[in-house]
Structure 1
Amino acid sequence: MKECAFTRRKPQSLLNCTMATSAPTSPTPLSNQRSFGFGDRIGLAGPGHLRALQASGFAPILAQQSVRELDRLGRTAADVMDAAKRAIAREGYTGPWGGDADHLKTVEAAQQYAQAGFTFFTIDPSDHLGAPDRVQSLPEAYADLYLGQSWETASGQYSFDEAGLKEVVSKFEGVLDHCEMMAKGIAAACAGRGFEIEVSVDEAPATTSPLDHLFVALELKRRGVSFASLAPRFVGSFQKGIDYRGDLKTFESDLQQHVDIARQVGPYKLSIHSGSDKFSIYPIIGRLCGEWLHVKTSGTSYLEALRVLCVEEKALFRELLTVAFEHFEQDRHSYELSVTDDDLAQLRQEADNPTEATFLDGVAGRQVLHVTYGSLLSNDKLSSGQTRREAVLAALERHDDLHQQYVERHLKKHLQLLESER
């Protein structure tokens, strides 16, 4: 296992850190390396991410933020890139790293990330998914390409009958058209420099079947869309901020089929979205995917920042809990969660004396805080007169050592489990 390159520098404030001349100043494509996305909603977790990475074989995506996160946080792609570079300078990291423009739906958004130096572009075509019965008559071009053919992988042989082919065309033709258009726009925005593309179908309402995956991958390849990774929607439940929910043997069997298709059609990496805190399946993922793996995390690092506030800044944390409860119903709409009305009532009862066990380790507490990040980090004023964002940043600066310790410990657990069976 390779170890990441570091030259540890004297710690300094992340808000005032300048780039070291020996640090890599730009992200690069990481297509041929197993990679791990360290999303950082606040912009201060980078040193902890890099410390967690030491002795790991993963290449880091250090600048990662989705369009949705930027909108809710009032940040720009340049802000995210600058925060990653400050962390690199502070830690003296000299290895390769990437920048992920996550969940892109428009070429205009991709252009903004490209201007900020991002090299990894995740296309989110979920708005273009069609109903399974959209196509009434199978187009002849698809029939000629796929009917009567079979594809052999290590886990079995796959073929399409007319009904099955009509269904995948119904669901994914619009997705593929959009991906093709986006890929051309991304290539134009990155003219003259390297980049890589990920295609995400994980936000579809239904699980991605092996035949779904096979059709999407074959069509992308036929249309000339070069992609480094693909994110299916796997069986089971990948909810934000908590462990996997589902049968582990069923997940392993499903993942093996996706791995084998990716090897046969590509090879390309499988990307695990909503990948944080899925501790029960990390050994399976690491063992089956091997080097052809990308894992995305984001909100879990933000929750470690809130853990610091819960431990060291009780008054501020209580005030933030009030905000979270006020905005939860609005903020939860774009997420799959388990929180019930009874859970919320219990959390409210414990809000005057909040504990890590309830709000940072419990399922309901984690999910309420996870999805209300935009509200908690807004520019609305607190009773102190500071904005919520200012108060959180100032508190984390006061407790920087503890913050980095928590982030390092938590993300190291992710990486170690992913590498535990290799």
Structure 2
Amino acid sequence: MTIQQIISSVVESNLDSKKVIYGYNGNKISVYPRSLRMFENELYFIGKEQNKKYLYILTEENRAFKNPEFKGTSVPKGVFGFNLKAMRIEMNHDSAILIKQIFPFTNPVVIGKVDSFGFGDRLGIANPAHIQALEGSHMKPILAQQSIRELERTKRTADEVLDAAVWAVFQEGYTKGYGADADHLKTIDDIDRMANAGYTMFTFDPSAYVINEAAKMNERELKEYSSNLESGEFTLNEILSRYSNQSFRIDKDVTLHPSEHEILSAFVKYVGVIKHVITLYRYLKDKYKSLNSEVELSVDETDVPTSPFEHFFIANELNRQNVELVSLAPRFIGDFEKGIDYKGNIKEFVNEYKQHLSISKIYGGYKISIHSGSDKFSIYNAIGKIGSGIVHVKTAGTSYLEALRTIAAVEPELIKEILDFAREHYLQERNSYHVSADLNKVPAAQDCSNYQLLELFNDDNARQVFHVTFGKVLTAQDTNGRYIFRDRIKKCLEENEELHYENLIKHFRRHLDPFKK
């Protein structure tokens, strides 16, 4: 058999399903057809053997392998025919580095100012389905997306998250470009951690510098407080001279006329944010000049919604300092809780969203970013109907929930253990998340039939209990240091990969379809 015959036998079957092309020692290897790639007379592909994936490299028997840096084991002679030889290689970090060198499309890129969608993959095995869900969508994917908080809670590294995206892109043969989002960065150490791993999008989270109390201060208190915040050109007099008694037309029908109180409040609330973002931005751009990067600003984790003038104030001051944003996430009106649909008045949201969109167009047309974007179906429909501007949607926990939904269907006893564990830890784990689940409305495992277990993933209370306890579930260990759930979760999903992918694809097409243009 020749390499071309192998390619033909796989491709002629079905690109959407794995093809068993050979077996040995009682094992079968299933090939992912979209992963087939030629490089200098060698065939590369991903195959699955005994529910574990490997990278395979085939070449002619009389040739040496082109890349001796790959460390693997030889496939028994004659498996692919006696004129070919093959090597089986672990899909680890070292191999991912080499794959990125050989196949440039597996490297993350800057996505730019186009519609995009962030797929958080907390288990590292969902991205192939995320890519498949994109079929028919114009959205550009951010496939490696993890916040510092998520890395700490799951005990994963920045490299591991990016490697998972690399292998997913290679498996699916996705050549249209994907981003890597270093999410919710607060410090320059956070930037170093993610830039050194090769991330391309940096989401700055300056929430520690927001003075939420400004909303409750009177004019005298604001002036007194502002004296502690002044530095350099960020003085109250300078700010007042720029905004006081001024009108700012942001759209044909909307003009901002900020009062002195509004200006004072915006200064106190956000000047620390602006200065910190400038520091982070300049550090990123100066230290990592060779890294093609883009920056999102997150101001969504505040107590009250970001007013149009506050957005304008932040954008204008950053623009004056040559800080270019690819996207900005305001704190919107209403509630964006984890894992469930939007709570609030859609009409009010749309009116506010349009104003934020108008402001973004003034300063380069950056994307309006929707954080905690999982399952906000009413919001997607509303934004889709606007039909203008660009958007970035950021999701994470909903993929984890679809993984648990899959487990509930095929291994109910495992999901029962996870349910009771999640109920036990919810009250503690919810503290750093915006959720409102009532634990009393989430039944114990012993009270659930198998059908009721599946229905939990359609219940807002249960979804949030599962959602915020992901870190505990994935890192809990027994007295011998063995993971209680993590390995069993992955094993179940690997054994039921098709169902897992099917659930993810169905779920994310509900997210993506409203944005179709």
| Same-fold call, TM cutoff 0.5 | yes
Partner of residue 68, structure 2: none
3-state DSSP of counterpart to 1:355: helix
Contact 2:420 2:444 in 1 (8 A): no
2:25 equivalent in structure 1:
none
CA displacement at 1:385 relative to structure 2: 6.3
Aligned-residue offset at 1:252: 1.0
Structure with bigger strand share is 2
| Residues 106-153 of structure 1: CA deviation (Å, up to 9, x unaligned) | 110111111111010000011111121363256111111111222112
CA distance, structure 2, for counterparts of residue 15 and residue 343 of structure 1:
40
Q: Secondary structure at the match of 1:199?
A: strand
Tell me the TM-score normalized by structure 2.
0.76
Could you say which residue in structure 2 is the equivalent of 1:3?
none
8 Å contact kept, 1:111–1:189: no
The residue identity in structure 1 corresponding to 2:132 is R
Contact persistence 1:110–1:189 (CA under 8 A)? no
Shift of 1:175: 0.8
Which residue of 273, 278, 282 corresponds with 2:376?
Answer: 278
Shift of 1:360: 0.9
Question: In the alignment, which residue of structure 2 is the partner of 1:135?
Answer: 222
Find out whether 1:183 has 2:221 as its counterpart.
no
Q: Which range moves more in the overlay, 23-32 or 312-321? A: 23-32
Distance 1:351 1:188 in 2: 56
1:189 shift after superposition: 4.1
1:374 to 471, 480, 504: 471
Letter in 2 for 1:170: V
1:25-83 deviation line (CA, Å, top 9, x unaligned): 31111122211001100000011000001111011101000000000000011000000
Matches within 5 A, 1:234-383: 234-288=332-386, 290-344=388-442, 346-347=443-444, 350-351=447-448, 353=450, 355-381=452-478
Residues 20-419 of structure 1: pairs in structure 2 closer than 5 A: 21-22=102-103, 24-130=105-211, 131-132=213-214, 133=217, 135-137=222-224, 139-154=236-251, 155-288=253-386, 290-344=388-442, 346-347=443-444, 350-351=447-448, 353=450, 355-381=452-478, 387-419=484-516
Matched letter for residue 123 of structure 2: I
Q: State the shift of 1:405 in Å.
A: 1.0
Select the structure of larger CA radius of gyration. Answer: 2
TM-score, normalised to structure 1, is 0.93
Q: Is 2:118–2:393's contact at 8 Å kept on the other side of the alignment?
A: yes
CA offset at residue 316 of structure 1? 1.1
Percent of residue pairs bearing the same amino acid type: 39
What SS does the corresponding residue of 2:335 show, helix, strand or coil?
Answer: coil
DSSP-derived class of the 1:286 partner: helix
Aligned with 1:135: secondary structure?
helix
How far off is 1:263 after superposition?
A: 1.1
Question: Offset at 1:342?
Answer: 2.7
Whole-angstrom CA distance in 2 between matches of 1:306 and 1:390: 13
Matched-pair contact (CA < 8 Å) for 2:106–2:166: yes
Q: CA deviation at 1:397?
A: 0.7
Residues 23 and 89, structure 1, Cα contact 8 Å, conserved in 2: no
Aligned counterparts of 1:408 and 1:359: Cα–Cα separation in 2? 20
Secondary structure of 1:136's aligned partner: helix
Question: How many Å apart are 1:286 and its aligned residue?
Answer: 2.6
Correspondence for 2:83: none
Q: Decide whether the 8 Å contact of 1:23 with 1:92 is kept in 2.
A: no
Q: Hey, what's the Cα distance between the residues in 1 that align with 2:479 and 2:123?
A: 18
The separation in 2 between residues aligned to 1:161 and 1:299, in whole angstroms, is 40
* Deviation of the 1:341 alpha carbon: 4.1
1:62 match: secondary structure:
strand
Aligned to 2:351, what secondary structure does the other structure show?
helix
- Gap runs ≥5 in structure 2: 1-31, 37-45, 56-90, 92-98, 227-235
Whole-Å separation in 2 of the counterparts to 1:42 and 1:412: 20
Q: Assess, with a 3 A threshold, how the Cα gap between structure 1 residues 7 and 200 changes in structure 2: closer, same or farther.
A: farther
Taking structure 1 as reference, are residues 237 and 347 closer, same or farther at Cα in structure 2, changes over 3 Å only?
farther
Structure 2 CA distance for aligned equivalents of residues 382 and 320 of structure 1 = 18
1:135 maps to amino acid? L
CA distance 1:391–1:188, shift in 2 (3 Å):
farther
Q: Judging changes above 3 Å, is the alpha-carbon distance between structure 1 residues 347 and 149 closer, same or farther for their aligned structure 2 residues?
A: farther
Paired with 2:287 and 2:183, the residues of 1 have a C-alpha distance of 16
Shift of residue 357, structure 1, vs aligned partner? 4.6
